[in-house]
Chains A and B, each alone.
Chain A
């Protein structure tokens, strides 16, 4: 009833992982990976967010209903960002909109 109680060592491990990954993301930004720089930064941020959601926010120990709710949020975020890209990506690209150039 009182929910899962995580050991303190787990919280410290997640904290250390988040700090190390912050260092990694800063370090990776100074390496020229071309188009991959953005992807690497987002993968690291996504992994950090997953650690927070899974362990700090106790979703790992939550019910299937809660997990489904979390997944729904991410699903609609993916739709939002994905359809934005499809829409703007399919428009004729212009470096500057007319009102600025």
Chain B
């Protein structure tokens, strides 16, 4: 890099030319990058345990109320969930390509791969909006208007019967009609316990979505920095750190997909 040489000449120091991005408290670019990588992983470690608490809660409630989790899980769309998994894995590939282009100092390619990654991330969030809207429509959002018994008109008790008939058609279309096998929970218990599943569903996918929104925000800044030519093959740490974050979000979804969408599909 010509600017590296120019920078060293300005100083007129005896020591070797150093990169303009090298902070004064680091000896070499390699040392600086190593510190950033370890620091990023320490942050991701806290994120693992952040999500880990939710996975632990999921685990306990899934064991306790497996039938409720199995029934509620079946009401999710496998198509949208599978599509989003593919989209997110694809965005991990484009992110890896962005980092690779930054490593090899291909500025415009880096910018393009980052933009493509942001587009795929936005597609994921768009699909999530469709899924969330569907949950609101079918009263599958935990709270006052939650209505699971409606999906089981034959087993619902008393007052649930009238409301059940009203929503029976769309619910059956979702695959949440008749219970799929002999369940250990009656309709009233399902009404309560499936809410636990959906509480975890909204908390886990919601937290994941917030991470994606933050990731896209970070990428906007990084893309602008890449466009301005802030990176070269010696210094591309911000692109790589963004990549680590994005891949982490991808990994969380890799676990969320089977846990939320595939509890018990074979019955």
Contact = CB atoms under 8 A, between A and B. Distances in A.
Interface of A: 1-3, 5-6, 8, 11-12, 14-15, 18-19, 22, 25-26, 29-33, 37, 41-42, 44-45, 48-49, 52-53, 55-58, 62-63, 65-66, 69-70, 72-74, 76-77, 80-81, 84-85, 88, 95-96, 100-101
B60 interface: yes
A15 B247 CA distance: 12
A44 B85 CA distance: 14
Contact of A66 (B28, B41, B185, B247): B41
Interface residues of B, number: 60
Given A5-B104, A69-B42, A76-B49, A29 B265 contact: yes
Contact of A11 (B34, B96, B192, B250): B96
B103 A49 contact: no
Contacts of B146: none
A22 B89 contact: yes
B129 interface: no
B233 A49 contact: no
Contact of A32 (B93, B100, B243, B266): B266
A48 to B, nearest CB: 5
A45 B265 CA distance: 17
B109 to A, nearest CB: 11
A1 B29 contact: yes
Closest 5 CB pairs of A and B: A73-B45, A29-B262, A41-B258, A29-B265, A15-B93
B60 A88 contact: yes
- In terms of DSSP, what is the predominant structure of the interface of chain B? helix
B45 A72 contact: yes
Interface stretch (B50-58, B114-122, B171-179): B50-58
A22 B82 contact: yes
A72 B52 CA distance: 14
Contact of B52 (A37, A56, A62, A81): A81
Contacts of A12: 93
Contacts of A66: 34, 37-38, 41
A18 B236 CA distance: 26
A8 B100 CA distance: 8
B49 A53 contact: no
